[in-house]
Amino acid sequence: MTLLPTKFGIYGGQFVPETLMPALIELEQAFVDAQKDPAFRREFEGLLASFVGRPTPLTHAKRLSEQLGGAQIYLKREDLAHTGAHKINNALGQALLVKRMGKKRIVAETGAGQHGVASATAAALLGLECVVYMGVVDIARQEPNVFRMKLLGAEVRPVTSGTQTLKDAINEAIRDWVTNVRDTHYLLGSALGPHPYPTIVREFQSVIGIEAREQMLRDAGRLPDTVIACVGGGSNAIGVFSGFVDDEQVELIGVEAGGSGIASGKHAARFGGATKARVGVIHGTRTYVLQDDDGQIAETHSVSAGLDYAAVGPEHAMMRDSERAFYTSATDEEALSAFQTLCHTEGIIPALESSHAVAEVIKRAPKMRKDQVILVNLSGRGDKDLNTVIKELGMNL
């Protein structure tokens, strides 16, 4: 018997080899104990304040709001968290659990490199050994983050199997974990994988939603009408959504990677690709999975490495079915255009992942009234994406 529910409706679960089951049980126990332990919470919250720089600000994007001519837009500034994205919240939380469990080594997967950097950072801070698996396609497009991980003392292992992106990095991280499970923790970076990961990651990211709700009430005097976040595995989205999920009047919108367009078949819109998206099991969890007729996991495409993944966190699958949240997508082109808009109107260079959320704002805000409010989770900053953007926009140095 597990201590916490393992499923979100019909989604989630623990589809892993037996070798890993005891580790999942141990992790769940450590998490449940830690949640009840005031000392753990103090340490975690203390680090979020003194190391990550939380609370991250809420910025009223006045020029963008004005330019779009509709709803007032507020940005939750996870880009200002230490290491430049929301990923650090979860990485620190799990690294503290690792210390509680007495393990000495962490392995992590990374797509955009943000979770790898966050893991390497948490490992350096807490004195843990850190190995990060990263597909060679992602290594090429997120090079600055590879150097950051190395400077932080992590070993980056290039993954050449399969599609050489996030999915394959997760496979390799799991294979390492299966082999070294007695002294190694798998520091999974998104709200996916087998139970208890989706729950743990949501809890450690819920600080985004808790802060944002207070800040909205303080700064705008009201809750937002709409909350928008990009959805890769779904951790920044579930983090911000969790602050508003009980406020039924607040509309929750997740934005997936539309790649070259849904019709092209080259995308990572798990909820959008009617022909390829079916419920399946991948990386230990039951959820919506882009796959072919024979159940082989499909290749995905996105300009943003962090959204370029064939499955989505199981809680999002449940929220989609229950219509508590709605999911849409933005294409590469729309994201790149939103990226530039935010740079010019607000002086903020967003991550390409976050630019997908901004793209949805650009579509929606003009159709809303001026007294309405959109909250966008700006999950990360765009420094890591400069090479990609320069290439995509045909800029010269």
Partner 1 sequence: MNRIENAFKNKPIFMPYFPLGYPDLDTSIDVIEALAKNGADLIEVGLSFSDPLADGPVIQKATQTALEQGITVKKSLAAVAELRKRGVTIPLILMGYYNPMLAYGLEAFVRGAREAGADGFIIPDLPLEEEEEFTSIVGADRDPPLPLIRMLAPTSPNERMESIARNAKGFIYLVSVTGVTGTRTSISDGLGELIARVREYTSVPVCVGFGIGTPEQAKQIGALVDGVIVGSACVKTIGSSEKPVETAKQFAAEFRSALK
Binding site for partner 1 (CB under 8 A): 2, 6, 13-23, 161-162, 167-168, 171, 174-175, 178-182, 278-284, 289, 291, 293-297
Among 279, 357, 350, residue whose Cα is nearest residue 312: 279
φ/ψ of residue 223, rounded to 5 = -80, 155
Of the residues 87, 103, 167, 276, only one is catalytic, namely 87
Considering the complex, state which of residue 120 and residue 187 has its C-beta at the smaller distance from partner 1: 187
Q: How many CA atoms lie within 13 A of 183 on its CB side?
A: 5
**Contacted by 282, from ligand PLP, partner 1, none: CB < 5 to 8 Å by type:** partner 1
Residue 306: name its binding partner from ligand PLP, partner 1, none (Cβ under 5 to 8 Å by kind): ligand PLP
From the candidates 76, 103, 379, 384, give the one annotated as an active-site residue. 379
Continuous H helices in 229-372: 235-241, 314-321, 332-346, 352-364
- Please indicate whether residue 355 is annotated as part of the active site: no
Contacts of 174 (CB under 8 A, 6+ apart): 16, 20, 186, 283, 284
- State the nearest-atom distance from the C-beta of 268 to ligand PLP, in Å: 10
Decide whether 24 or 230 has the Cβ nearer to ligand PLP: 230
User: Is 334 an active-site residue?
Assistant: no
Q: Which is nearer to ligand PLP, 234 or 314 (CB)?
A: 234
Q: Cβ contacts of residue 59 below 8 Å, gap of 6+?
A: 74, 75, 77, 346, 348
Look at residue 351 and give the partner it binds from ligand PLP, partner 1, none, a contact being a CB closer than 5 to 8 Å depending on partner kind: ligand PLP
Partner from ligand PLP, partner 1, none contacting 387, C-beta within 5 to 8 A by type:
none
Catalytic residue among 28, 78, 109, 315: 109
268 binds, among ligand PLP, partner 1, none (CB under 5 to 8 A by kind): none
Closer to ligand PLP by CB, 174 or 368: give it.
174
Say if residues 272 and 262 touch (Cβ distance below 8 Å): yes
CB of 20 to partner 1, least distance (A): 8
How far from each other are the two terminal CA atoms of the chain, in whole angstroms?
59
Minimal distance in Å, beta carbon 283 to partner 1? 7
**Helix pair angle (143-151, 114-126), 10° resolution:** 10
Q: Is 161 a catalytic residue?
A: no
Joined tokens for residue 54? 């939380």
- What residues line the site for ligand PLP (CB under 6 A)? 85, 87, 111-112, 114-115, 190, 230-237, 306-307, 351, 353-354, 379-380
Give CA separation, 89 vs 24, 175, 213, in Å.
Answer: 21, 25, 17
CB closer to ligand PLP, 224 vs 306:
306
Cross-strand bridge partners of residue 74: 60, 375
Catalytic residues: 87, 109, 379
